[in-house]
Structure 1
Amino acid sequence: MAEARILSAVERAKQRAEIAGRRNMLLLTHLRWFASLGQLVTILTVHFWLGVNLPIGPMITVLAGLVLLNILTLIMLAGRHAVANWELFLALLVDLAALTSQLYMSGGASNPFAPIGLLQVVVGAVLLEAWSSWVLAAMHSAAFGLLTIYYRPLELPLEHTSSLAPIHIFASWLNFVLVAVLLVFFVTRIGRNLRMRDASLAEMRQQAAEEDHIVRMGLLASGAAHELGTPLSSLAVIVGDWRKRPDFAANHSLIEDITEMQIAVARCKEIVGGILYASGEARSEGLERTTLRRFVKSVADQWTLQHPGVLRLDDRLTENPAIAADRTLAQIVTNVLDNAAEADATLVEMTAETKKGNLLLIVRDDGSGFPTEMLRNLGTPYHSSKDRRGAGLGLFLAVNVMRKLGGSIEIRNGRVRGALVTLSIPLDALALSDADG
């Protein structure tokens, strides 16, 4: 169950990331427009106003390439709703190549605008996944290092001529690398913390919605249980009277049918009583002091009355503490067994054991198992393989009751056939309190 929920959450997160990637790509195109305009103004100002001889043709060609990239990107985004991380990474690599080319043609690392590559490192750390952020930072650092060796020297007028010592150039490169590493490290960490916070908030909202759903279902179930109590009691009395009639008693086949009817009515009354007990309306008279082994055996025996010859109980309990019999838990176990029977299982094995302070109930069956789509949505209401109204609530309630008890439920298909359901309940949640004793 936990694995199915995790897989489902991962898939939803991946879809959200791809949709967010489209917005990030649009943001990247906006930044590229500003960067292209800024580079054009700077190139023209330095060449014509400051009198610095620059290779205008090649540098304008690089800017034209960035403009063309933006146009192609906007055309691509017009018919798409998702952009993957690798596409953002590739776009930033093109920006890196363009910036490196411009710096190569205008003095390399001695160009006062050389550290502007850190802006692209920051953008990459914010928009990209961690691995691609680190690769981008490494490539920027490598490019800056190469620009300290390979570049086209600027032909500056005498009044603007100056030179930097090699140690100064090396220190500038080292400073670039340190800042790039720290930026990627802290920005990715902050981004991860924010994503974890958002995921936690989303999980809390989902849990609150599920609990609200449970409350509303509980109110409806409690009202229905009150209304069903009287007709079930009447049926129990009528069936009991039939059993005592002399003309019915002589018909053994009819007596067997009446016996099955009494068992079915008793089962219905027990379910109704469990609903009232779970809602807190029958707690004082429904609470029963028993032992762990007796509780597990009674649940198995009750289910066997309705499905003779199907269930096999494997008692491996190493502890047998006194507990307060919980009808809600008994109903959950019964629902799990019912699901196995409805999946055409001919053999259901339930193993009971205690491990690390928990009661483990492991139910295996040889039925048809769970469909893949159902496994992805287990624990959410109205997702079921049964084509009837209200189907799927049993496992939804089981997940939430286990969570309330501090336990868990894990569901998966068998390797060949059938399903495996594991219920884990802390023994402390079942222990007798002073009020119960």
Structure 2
Amino acid sequence: MLESIWPQNRNQNASAEDAPYLWTTADSQQAWGSPEPRDVTNRKNMALLIQLRWTAVMGQIVTIGFVQLWLGIKLPLAAMAAVIAALVTLNVVSMIWTRRRKEITSHDLLLALMLDVAALTAQLYLSGGAKNPFTSLYLLQITLGAVLLDARSIWSLVVLTTASLVGLTVAHRPLLLPQQGIGDDFSLYITGMCIGFLLNAVLLVVFVTRINRNLRDRDARLAAMRQRAAEESHIVRMGLLASGAAHELGTPLSSISVLLSDWRRMPELASHPDLIEDIAEMESSLKRCKAIVTGILVSAGEARGEGSAATTVHKFVNGLAEEWSSTRSKNTLHIKNEFGADLAIVSDAALKQVVFNVLDNALEASPGWIELAAGRSGDALVLAISDVGPGFSSETLAQLGKPYNSSKGRPGGGLGLFLVVNVIRKLGGKVSAENRADGGARVTLTLPLATLAIGGGDAG
């Protein structure tokens, strides 16, 4: 049986204006999603490399124009324009390819960086080779590779850039400089080196910062998935323990049932109405214990009776209320069914147990009044359980859905809400908890009707 879903560590001084805390699977699609979210880090980084290539295209056009027109240095414009046109074509093809490709790998990023190195080498070859101060842009490619790639790929890029630089010292097209002195040539080189350094620094800060943000997002997703795996492992262990306990309880419960039946038939006891009444109450309690054991086994997939069954929303809600009231408190629960037009759904044992658990803990916090409200929000069934108890503490709201989030002082307390959040998440829904403006608390379960509808998917 799920336990302690309704937090009993409610702060008597909790403010009704406490902001509601919402734990949703919409939020967890990126972190916990079901199915697991695909890692899009490489795709984002490829998009950044495409943006960097557009920057390179614009930078080359500006630099070539400045050198040709302002400094009067003759450049092979046709050949350099062909390299720029090749870069533009590569970028357009990369954008289309990235949209159509399902997965971007580290090898794809390596290929993109190598093509950028090849384009840079071609432009340097046409503009003085290793004597060109913009050879420092090779460091930009190496730095990006160090951030994006694995060790083997990084060294492959280092080898390529080193070979390119060495090759430029041997083969290149010399620049046709105007008639200037050595001092002027050196000043020109220093100026180019300063411009290259500034360009390197700006591009590194802008793009490496964005790449690191992508990597941090990836690490956050991985951490959330590891957390989810750990919590699901915890749930599996508890399920195994509960299933084993239910099997173990079957034999003693059957023995007690036989003994009570024998007692009812004994003449010595049959003549005492008070004893017969006590036996009847014991049999009723025993029947409830058997129902609890059955519920545990049904939820574990080892049904002793029927598990899921076809029903409608109205029948499901009314049946929940009637069954819960008959075994707990007949006059405490108030029903408000505003779902609207009825809809056929599958009544799932785990979902019913979740609602029962919320109601049980609401009863413990508010023995005099509980409300179960059913409504519809778009394509979702909304079940809201409200009470007039002391409300949630801010600590409980901040840790909603975490295991052992309770101050009841009982070993294992606080697992109920943890299990409820996981069950609802498996059904594709969300759980929210808040303090009501007029006092008390409210837990809201929102479930997509597509999951509950007959033929709409596995509700378990």
TM-score, normalization: structure 2? 0.54
Matched, 1:322 2:333: no
Which of residues 22, 37, 40 is equivalent to 1:2?
22
- In structure 2, the partner of 1:291 is 312
Superposition pairs for residues 257-268 of structure 1, below 5 Å?
Answer: 258=279, 260-268=281-289
Decide whether aligned partners of structure 1 residues 163 and 434 sit closer, same or farther in structure 2, where only a CA change above 3 A counts.
closer
Matched, 1:346 2:368: yes
- What runs of 5+ residues in structure 2 fail to find an aligned partner? 1-20, 28-132, 148-181
CA–CA distance in 1 between the matches of 2:343 and 2:257?
Answer: 35
- In structure 2, the partner of 1:373 is 395
Decide whether aligned partners of structure 1 residues 207 and 253 sit closer, same or farther in structure 2, where only a CA change above 3 A counts.
same
- In structure 2, the partner of 1:311 is 333
CA–CA distance in 2 between the matches of 1:308 and 1:318?
Answer: 25
Which of residues 434, 451, 456 is equivalent to 1:412?
434
CA contact (8 A) 1:340 1:365 kept: yes
- In structure 2, the partner of 1:224 is 245
CA–CA distance in 1 between the matches of 2:201 and 2:438?
Answer: 52
- In structure 1, the partner of 2:421 is 399
Decide whether aligned partners of structure 1 residues 357 and 259 sit closer, same or farther in structure 2, where only a CA change above 3 A counts.
farther
Decide whether aligned partners of structure 1 residues 266 and 204 sit closer, same or farther in structure 2, where only a CA change above 3 A counts.
same
CA–CA distance in 1 between the matches of 2:304 and 2:343?
Answer: 21
Superposition pairs for residues 39-188 of structure 1, below 5 Å?
Answer: 182-188=203-209
Q: Secondary structure at the match of 1:188?
A: helix
Q: Aligned partner of 1:222: which letter?
A: S
Deviates further, 363-372 or 332-341: 363-372
CA contact (8 A) 1:346 1:367 kept: no
Q: Can you list the C-alpha shifts for 1:363-411, whole angstroms capped at 9, x where unaligned?
A: 1111122222222222222221322122111111111111111111111
Q: Secondary structure at the match of 1:361?
A: strand
Displacement after TM superposition at 1:319 (Å): 3.6
Q: Can you list the C-alpha shifts for 1:58-100, whole angstroms capped at 9, x where unaligned?
A: xxxxxxxxxxxxxxxxxxxxxxxxxxxxxxxxxxxxxxxxxxx
CA contact (8 A) 1:345 1:418 kept: no
Decide whether aligned partners of structure 1 residues 357 and 435 sit closer, same or farther in structure 2, where only a CA change above 3 A counts.
closer
Q: Aligned partner of 1:203: which letter?
A: A
CA–CA distance in 2 between the matches of 1:283 and 1:321?
Answer: 28
Which of residues 359, 363, 371 is equivalent to 2:385?
363
Matched, 1:192 2:244: no
CA–CA distance in 2 between the matches of 1:328 and 1:272?
Answer: 13
CA–CA distance in 1 between the matches of 2:22 and 2:208?
Answer: 31
CA contact (8 A) 2:311 2:345 kept: yes
CA contact (8 A) 2:401 2:421 kept: yes
CA contact (8 A) 2:450 2:456 kept: no
CA contact (8 A) 2:383 2:445 kept: yes
Q: Aligned partner of 1:420: which letter?
A: R
CA contact (8 A) 1:345 1:368 kept: no
Matched, 1:204 2:225: yes
Q: Can you list the C-alpha shifts for 1:15-38, whole angstroms capped at 9, x where unaligned?
A: xxxxxxxxxxxxxxxxxxxxxxxx
Deviates further, 217-226 or 421-430: 421-430
Decide whether aligned partners of structure 1 residues 345 and 370 sit closer, same or farther in structure 2, where only a CA change above 3 A counts.
farther
Q: Aligned partner of 2:210: which letter?
A: R
Q: Secondary structure at the match of 1:318?
A: coil
Displacement after TM superposition at 1:254 (Å): 5.9
Decide whether aligned partners of structure 1 residues 218 and 3 sit closer, same or farther in structure 2, where only a CA change above 3 A counts.
closer
CA contact (8 A) 2:376 2:382 kept: yes
Displacement after TM superposition at 1:196 (Å): 0.9
Deviates further, 341-350 or 359-368: 341-350
Q: Percent identity?
A: 51
CA–CA distance in 2 between the matches of 1:163 and 1:186?
Answer: 31
CA contact (8 A) 1:4 1:376 kept: no
Equivalent residues, number: 294
CA contact (8 A) 2:451 2:457 kept: no
Matched, 1:336 2:389: no
- In structure 2, the partner of 1:57 is none
CA contact (8 A) 2:375 2:382 kept: yes
Deviates further, 308-317 or 178-187: 178-187
Structure number with higher helix proportion: 1
Q: Aligned partner of 2:361: which letter?
A: N
CA contact (8 A) 1:361 1:422 kept: yes
CA–CA distance in 1 between the matches of 2:341 and 2:368?
Answer: 30
CA–CA distance in 1 between the matches of 2:304 and 2:195?
Answer: 72
Considering Cα pairs closer than 8 Å and 6+ residues apart, tell me whether 1 or 2 has the greater RCO.
2
Matched, 1:275 2:296: yes
Q: Secondary structure at the match of 1:422?
A: strand
Displacement after TM superposition at 1:336 (Å): 0.5
- In structure 1, the partner of 2:406 is 384
Displacement after TM superposition at 1:428 (Å): 2.4
Displacement after TM superposition at 1:417 (Å): 2.7
CA–CA distance in 1 between the matches of 2:379 and 2:268?
Answer: 56
Decide whether aligned partners of structure 1 residues 434 and 198 sit closer, same or farther in structure 2, where only a CA change above 3 A counts.
closer
CA–CA distance in 1 between the matches of 2:200 and 2:455?
Answer: 60
- What runs of 5+ residues in structure 1 fail to find an aligned partner? 7-111, 127-158
Q: Aligned partner of 1:264: which letter?
A: S
Displacement after TM superposition at 1:257 (Å): 5.0
Decide whether aligned partners of structure 1 residues 257 and 304 sit closer, same or farther in structure 2, where only a CA change above 3 A counts.
farther
Q: Secondary structure at the match of 1:286?
A: coil
CA–CA distance in 2 between the matches of 1:365 and 1:284?
Answer: 32
TM-score, normalization: structure 1? 0.56
Q: Can you list the C-alpha shifts for 1:219-245, whole angstroms capped at 9, x where unaligned?
A: 111000111123233444555666677
Q: Secondary structure at the match of 1:285?
A: coil
Decide whether aligned partners of structure 1 residues 411 and 388 sit closer, same or farther in structure 2, where only a CA change above 3 A counts.
same
CA–CA distance in 2 between the matches of 1:348 and 1:434?
Answer: 31
Q: Secondary structure at the match of 2:454?
A: coil
